[in-house]
Amino acid sequence: MNIYLESFGIFFKIGTFTIGGGYAMIPLIEDEIVHKKNWINKEDFVDLMAVAQSAPGVFAVNMAIFIGYKLRGVKGCIMTALGTVLPSFLIILSIALFFQQFKEYRLIENIFKGIRPAVVALIAAPTFSVAKSCKINRHTIWIPVISALLIWLLGVSPIYIIITAGIGGYLWGRYKHTKSGQK
Protein backbone atom coordinates (compact mmCIF):
# COMPACT_ATOMS: atom_id res chain seq x y z
CA MET A 1 0.00 0.00 0.00
CA ASN A 2 1.11 3.58 -0.63
CA ILE A 3 2.74 4.90 2.57
CA TYR A 4 1.01 8.27 2.17
CA LEU A 5 -2.44 6.69 2.06
CA GLU A 6 -1.51 4.23 4.79
CA SER A 7 -0.28 6.96 7.15
CA PHE A 8 -3.33 9.10 6.34
CA GLY A 9 -5.57 6.11 7.11
CA ILE A 10 -3.86 5.36 10.41
CA PHE A 11 -4.12 8.95 11.63
CA PHE A 12 -7.69 9.29 10.29
CA LYS A 13 -8.72 6.16 12.23
CA ILE A 14 -7.00 7.41 15.40
CA GLY A 15 -8.53 10.87 14.99
CA THR A 16 -11.98 9.38 14.48
CA PHE A 17 -12.07 7.08 17.48
CA THR A 18 -10.11 9.02 20.07
CA ILE A 19 -12.03 11.16 22.52
CA GLY A 20 -10.05 13.40 24.83
CA GLY A 21 -7.58 15.20 22.62
CA GLY A 22 -3.95 14.71 21.75
CA TYR A 23 -2.82 13.03 24.94
CA ALA A 24 -5.51 10.39 24.60
CA MET A 25 -4.15 9.65 21.09
CA ILE A 26 -0.60 8.95 22.27
CA PRO A 27 -1.02 5.24 23.17
CA LEU A 28 -2.83 4.60 19.89
CA ILE A 29 -0.24 6.45 17.81
CA GLU A 30 2.57 4.69 19.64
CA ASP A 31 0.96 1.29 19.14
CA GLU A 32 0.46 1.84 15.40
CA ILE A 33 3.64 3.72 14.50
CA VAL A 34 6.19 2.23 16.94
CA HIS A 35 4.94 -1.29 17.63
CA LYS A 36 2.86 -2.43 14.64
CA LYS A 37 4.51 -0.59 11.73
CA ASN A 38 7.99 -0.09 13.23
CA TRP A 39 8.24 3.20 11.35
CA ILE A 40 9.80 4.98 14.35
CA ASN A 41 11.65 3.57 17.37
CA LYS A 42 10.52 4.23 20.96
CA GLU A 43 13.30 6.73 21.72
CA ASP A 44 12.52 8.82 18.62
CA PHE A 45 8.83 8.70 19.51
CA VAL A 46 9.50 10.09 23.00
CA ASP A 47 11.72 12.80 21.47
CA LEU A 48 8.98 13.71 18.97
CA MET A 49 6.51 13.96 21.86
CA ALA A 50 8.79 16.37 23.70
CA VAL A 51 9.17 18.56 20.61
CA ALA A 52 5.43 18.40 19.86
CA GLN A 53 4.61 19.48 23.41
CA SER A 54 6.96 22.44 23.27
CA ALA A 55 5.96 23.60 19.79
CA PRO A 56 3.05 26.01 19.46
CA GLY A 57 -0.17 24.49 18.24
CA VAL A 58 -2.34 21.48 18.90
CA PHE A 59 -0.37 18.59 20.39
CA ALA A 60 -1.97 15.81 18.30
CA VAL A 61 -1.49 17.75 15.08
CA ASN A 62 2.12 18.54 16.01
CA MET A 63 2.75 14.84 16.65
CA ALA A 64 1.20 13.92 13.31
CA ILE A 65 3.24 16.55 11.49
CA PHE A 66 6.53 15.49 13.08
CA ILE A 67 5.88 11.79 12.49
CA GLY A 68 4.78 12.42 8.90
CA TYR A 69 7.83 14.56 8.24
CA LYS A 70 10.13 11.94 9.72
CA LEU A 71 8.53 9.28 7.52
CA ARG A 72 8.24 11.09 4.18
CA GLY A 73 9.07 14.79 4.46
CA VAL A 74 6.58 17.51 3.60
CA LYS A 75 4.12 15.24 1.75
CA GLY A 76 4.15 12.85 4.71
CA CYS A 77 3.41 15.59 7.22
CA ILE A 78 0.55 16.91 5.08
CA MET A 79 -1.05 13.47 4.91
CA THR A 80 -0.69 12.70 8.62
CA ALA A 81 -1.89 16.18 9.62
CA LEU A 82 -4.95 15.89 7.37
CA GLY A 83 -5.64 12.42 8.73
CA THR A 84 -5.57 13.79 12.27
CA VAL A 85 -7.61 16.96 11.69
CA LEU A 86 -10.24 15.82 9.21
CA PRO A 87 -12.22 13.48 11.53
CA SER A 88 -12.50 16.13 14.25
CA PHE A 89 -13.55 18.72 11.71
CA LEU A 90 -16.28 16.46 10.31
CA ILE A 91 -17.49 15.43 13.78
CA ILE A 92 -17.61 19.03 15.07
CA LEU A 93 -19.41 20.12 11.90
CA SER A 94 -22.00 17.36 12.38
CA ILE A 95 -22.47 18.21 16.05
CA ALA A 96 -22.84 21.90 15.23
CA LEU A 97 -25.50 21.11 12.66
CA PHE A 98 -27.57 18.86 14.93
CA PHE A 99 -26.67 19.77 18.55
CA GLN A 100 -29.48 22.26 19.08
CA GLN A 101 -32.01 19.52 18.38
CA PHE A 102 -30.51 17.04 20.89
CA LYS A 103 -28.93 19.08 23.69
CA GLU A 104 -32.01 18.91 25.92
CA TYR A 105 -32.16 15.10 25.91
CA ARG A 106 -31.12 13.53 29.21
CA LEU A 107 -29.59 10.56 27.37
CA ILE A 108 -27.16 12.81 25.46
CA GLU A 109 -26.18 14.59 28.69
CA ASN A 110 -25.56 11.24 30.42
CA ILE A 111 -23.46 9.97 27.51
CA PHE A 112 -21.16 12.99 27.80
CA LYS A 113 -20.95 12.54 31.60
CA GLY A 114 -20.04 8.88 31.10
CA ILE A 115 -17.28 9.72 28.63
CA ARG A 116 -15.43 12.01 31.09
CA PRO A 117 -13.82 9.29 33.28
CA ALA A 118 -12.70 7.39 30.19
CA VAL A 119 -11.05 10.53 28.85
CA VAL A 120 -9.15 10.97 32.12
CA ALA A 121 -7.90 7.38 31.85
CA LEU A 122 -6.91 7.89 28.22
CA ILE A 123 -4.85 10.92 29.22
CA ALA A 124 -3.31 9.27 32.31
CA ALA A 125 -2.12 6.15 30.47
CA PRO A 126 0.38 7.91 28.19
CA THR A 127 1.59 10.02 31.11
CA PHE A 128 2.78 6.88 32.92
CA SER A 129 4.16 5.40 29.71
CA VAL A 130 6.17 8.56 28.98
CA ALA A 131 7.40 8.72 32.59
CA LYS A 132 8.64 5.15 32.30
CA SER A 133 10.40 5.73 28.97
CA CYS A 134 11.96 8.97 30.27
CA LYS A 135 13.42 6.94 33.14
CA ILE A 136 11.68 8.94 35.85
CA ASN A 137 12.53 7.30 39.16
CA ARG A 138 12.48 8.10 42.87
CA HIS A 139 15.38 10.53 42.40
CA THR A 140 13.74 12.53 39.60
CA ILE A 141 10.00 12.23 40.38
CA TRP A 142 10.14 15.57 42.21
CA ILE A 143 10.62 17.46 38.91
CA PRO A 144 7.20 16.72 37.32
CA VAL A 145 5.47 16.82 40.72
CA ILE A 146 6.84 20.29 41.59
CA SER A 147 6.12 21.48 38.04
CA ALA A 148 2.51 20.32 38.24
CA LEU A 149 2.03 21.87 41.67
CA LEU A 150 3.51 25.20 40.53
CA ILE A 151 1.11 25.28 37.58
CA TRP A 152 -1.94 24.02 39.45
CA LEU A 153 -1.65 25.70 42.86
CA LEU A 154 0.33 28.85 42.13
CA GLY A 155 -0.79 29.50 38.56
CA VAL A 156 2.77 29.59 37.17
CA SER A 157 2.71 29.64 33.38
CA PRO A 158 3.77 26.34 31.79
CA ILE A 159 5.99 28.37 29.48
CA TYR A 160 8.16 29.37 32.46
CA ILE A 161 8.30 25.74 33.59
CA ILE A 162 9.42 24.61 30.12
CA ILE A 163 12.07 27.34 29.87
CA THR A 164 13.35 26.61 33.38
CA ALA A 165 13.43 22.86 32.67
CA GLY A 166 15.29 23.44 29.41
CA ILE A 167 17.90 25.63 31.08
CA GLY A 168 18.18 23.22 34.00
CA GLY A 169 18.63 20.25 31.65
CA TYR A 170 21.26 22.09 29.66
CA LEU A 171 23.18 23.09 32.81
CA TRP A 172 22.90 19.56 34.25
CA GLY A 173 24.20 18.10 30.99
CA ARG A 174 27.13 20.52 30.99
CA TYR A 175 27.87 19.67 34.63
CA LYS A 176 27.77 15.92 33.93
CA HIS A 177 29.94 16.36 30.84
CA THR A 178 32.50 18.46 32.73
CA LYS A 179 32.49 16.04 35.66
CA SER A 180 33.02 13.01 33.41
CA GLY A 181 35.91 14.80 31.66
CA GLN A 182 37.70 15.35 34.99
CA LYS A 183 37.88 11.64 35.82
What is the spatial distance between Cα 111 and Cα 81, in angstroms, rounded to a whole number?
29
pTM of the model: 0.60
Q: Is the pLDDT of residue 103 over 70?
A: no
Q: Is the pLDDT of residue 12 over 90?
A: yes
DSSP three-state, residue 18: coil
Q: What is the largest CA-CA distance in the chain?
A: 72
Closest CA to 43 of 27, 61, 30: 30
What residue ranges in 19-78 does DSSP mark as E strands?
Answer: none
At 59 the pLDDT is: 86
Are the C-beta atoms of residues 19 and 54 closer than 8 Å to each other? Answer: no
Residues 49-92: tens digit of each pLDDT: 888 888 888 888 899 999 999 999 999 999 999 999 999 888 88
Vertex 25: Cα angle to 61 and 53 (nearest 5): 50
Mean of pLDDT values over 26-54: 90
Q: Is the pLDDT of residue 132 over 80?
A: no
At 117 the pLDDT is: 81
Percent of the chain scoring above 90 in pLDDT = 28
The mean predicted confidence, pLDDT, of the chain is 85
What is the spatial distance between Cα 170 and Cα 164, in angstroms, rounded to a whole number?
10
Confidence class of residue 127 from pLDDT cuts 50, 70 and 90? confident
Q: Is the pLDDT of residue 44 over 60?
A: yes
